[in-house]
Amino acid sequence: NAGVMQNPRHLVRRRGQEARLRCSPMKGHSHVYWYRQLPEEGLKFMVYLQKENIIDESGMPKERFSAEFPKEGPSILRIQQVVRGDSAAYFCASSPTGGANYGYTFGSGTRLTVV
Amino acid sequence: GENVEQHPSTLSVQEGDSAVIKCTYSDSASNYFPWYKQELGKRPQLIIDIRSNVGEKKDQRIAVTLNKTAKHFSLHITETQPEDSAVYFCAASIPGGFKTIFGAGTRLFVKA
């Protein structure tokens, strides 16, 4: 089992560009969680998705950010018109069932730098 | 919503000493409390967890305690080693909830 796979590991974007972050869950997992970690800070919940459904996006900014988890393929976190404040590490985790009452296995993260 | 506070933000101990990190939570319905260790530039990794029907749990040199009445839980690391140096996060989640809320982290330095 390859674990939770995220790519790219590092992503550099100029202000105003789009960033696409990918997360492939563990085999057999159909639930994905995205968290953002600003430099020197903790992990902030962004969004929870099941296949083809957004279940909870209460932590995701209303503008410029979107997430999807299609029937086939990885989950995508998309940030449009990036700004310097979007620079952070973005981690995803997956689970076989819904709910948060178990420990997460995180991917290695994508470190986004906006220049 | 749930809020988790964590103290101290930085902790420095001598190798072989014990380290204690404390967290409080706000939602009395929270019933699951994991702890994660994050080394520099790496992913957070689950090291131990505790559920609300248990007051204490131990795994070799690490232990967690939970006081539901006071709504606080703690991580204890005994006989610290330099490789214990990392950032530690506490977290809490409620039954049927879809998200885990993390504390701000404690940066632990173990001096050889």
Q: How is B14-66 classified by DSSP, letter by letter?
A: ETTS-EEEEEEES-TT--EEEEEEE-TTS--EEEEEEETT-SEEEETTEEEEE
Residue B39 in tokens: 């080394």
Residue B98 in tokens: 């879809």
Choose between B100 and B95: higher pLDDT.
Answer: B100
Whether B46 sits inside 8 A of A104 (CB atoms) is yes
CA distance between the termini of chain A: 36
Provide mean pLDDT across the span B32-60. 94
Residue B44 in tokens: 């957070």
Q: How far is CA B47 from CA A62, A76, B26, B57, in A?
A: 33, 28, 23, 12
Q: How far apart are alpha carbons B33 and B5 in whole angstroms?
A: 13
What are the φ and ψ backbone dihedral angles of A86, each rounded to 5 degrees?
A: -80, -10
Whether A45 sits inside 8 A of B32 (CB atoms) is no
- Look up tokens 């977290």; give the residue: B91
* DSSP 8-state class, residue A81: S
The percent of residues in chain B predicted with pLDDT above 70, rounded, is 100
pLDDT value at residue A99 = 67
Q: A106 touching B, CB under 8 A?
A: yes
Residue B2 in tokens: 């749930």
pLDDT value at residue A74 = 95
Q: Provide CB contacts within 8 A for B41, sequence distance 6+.
A: none
Per-residue pLDDT of chain A (115 residues; tens, 9 = 90+): 579 999 999 999 999 999 999 999 998 888 899 999 998 888 999 999 998 999 999 999 999 999 999 999 999 999 999 999 999 999 999 887 776 677 888 999 999 999 9
Whether B44 sits inside 8 A of A43 (CB atoms) is yes
pLDDT value at residue A97 = 76
What does the pLDDT look like over B65-91, one tens digit per residue? 999 999 999 999 999 999 999 999 999
Closest to A109 (Cβ–Cβ): which among B32, B43, B94? B43
Which helix (H) or strand (E) segment is B86 a member of? strand B86-92
Provide mean pLDDT across the span B9-15. 98
